[in-house]
Each structure stands twice: as structure tokens, then as C-alpha cells.
Amino acid sequence: MKRTLILTALIAFVGAAVTVDESQARRIKNKLVKSECGECHMAFQPSFLPAESWRIIMDDLENHFGDDASVDEKDAVAITNYLVKHAGRKRRRKKGQPPLRITKLRWFVREHNHEVSRRAKRRAGTMSNCTACHRGADKGYYDDD
């Protein structure tokens, strides 16, 4: 009994560690998502956020990080379906709202805290501008530099 518990815990732990290693994210294959969510920034790969995060984001595109990013009803349904279907796993976190920003996730902050030069940051303008530093980002490659 005790052994199974430990084993389960171990598997869960390893599982979490694997999803945190995101040096490759699965490329977006849906044209609508790629174009509609790639107009103001690169279309972020859905595996970076859990399903509930995508639902919340898609429910309020009129107030989208300070912009209006609304799409028509039909497109919204199709986009949500794709994002939710390819979403990442839910990670353990403190109580409260699901994360809405990839750039605030713990692994992201850890990965970018020390390695990113001030000059690169300034050039990118914002950390959500993945392609400024990862040339293959829109194809899902992040281990380039």
C-alpha cells in the first residue's frame, strides 16, 4: 500500500517535470487559430496553458490584456475547441484563478530570469514576444539560442 502511494507520487512528480520541459511545443495545425490568434502576437501553442485558462481567455476577448481581440461567434467556438483539445496539463498551484499568462508561469520565470540579457529584453519589448528571441517559436522550437 505504502509502496503504491510512493510510486504514484513518483510518477506524478516525473510527469510534472516532463511537462515543464517545454523545449519543444507541438506546432499549431489549425489555420484559423494560427491566423486569428497570430495577428497581434505569435499564436501561442496551446500546450503552454491548461484548458481552463484557454476557456477564460476565449470568454472575454473584448477585454484581452488591454485590447479588443473579439472574433465572431462561429470562429470563437472553433478556436476554443482547438485550444482546449490541445491544452497542456493542469499544474499544481495555489488556490485562485487559473493562469492567464504563459510569461507569469513559474517555469517560464525560472527559465528566463537569469538567462535573458537586458538588451534582448529591450529589443523584444515584452516577454510575450517569443519570436524576437526564439526564431523557431511559431513552429514550436524554443531550444535554439
Partner 1 sequence: MKSWNGVSAVLAVLYLSFVLTPAPAAAGPAQDQILKHYQDLAGADVTFSADRGKEFFMAKHTGGKPKSPSCTSCHTKSPLKSGRTHANKKIAPMALSKTKDRYSELKKVKKWFRRNCRSVLGRECSPQEKGDFLVYMMGQ
Q: Which residues lie near ligand HEC (CB under 6 A)?
A: 21-23, 36-37, 39-41, 44, 48, 57, 61, 64-67, 69, 79, 101-103, 111-112, 115-116, 120-121, 124, 126-130, 132-134, 142-143, 145
The one of partner 1, ligand HEC, none whose footprint includes residue 70, by CB under 5 to 8 A per kind, is partner 1
Cell representation of residue 94: 495555489
* Residue 126 within binding range of partner 1, rule CB under 8 A: yes
> Mask 35-64, x = binds partner 1 (CB under 8 A)?
----xxxx-------------------x--
Q: Which is nearer to ligand HEC, 4 or 113 (CB)?
A: 113
Which parts of 21-129 fold into alpha helices (H)?
A: 31-36, 51-59, 73-85, 106-113, 118-124
* Residue 124 within binding range of partner 1, rule CB under 8 A: yes
* Residue 70 within binding range of partner 1, rule CB under 8 A: yes
Cell representation of residue 5: 502511494
From 145, 142, 144, 130, select the one nearest 25 (Cα to Cα): 142
Kindly report the backbone phi and psi dihedral angles of residue 33, in degrees, each rounded to the nearest multiple of 5, phi listed first.
Answer: -65, -45
Cell representation of residue 90: 493542469
From 46, 27, 59, select the one nearest 87 (Cα to Cα): 46
* Residue 78 within binding range of partner 1, rule CB under 8 A: no
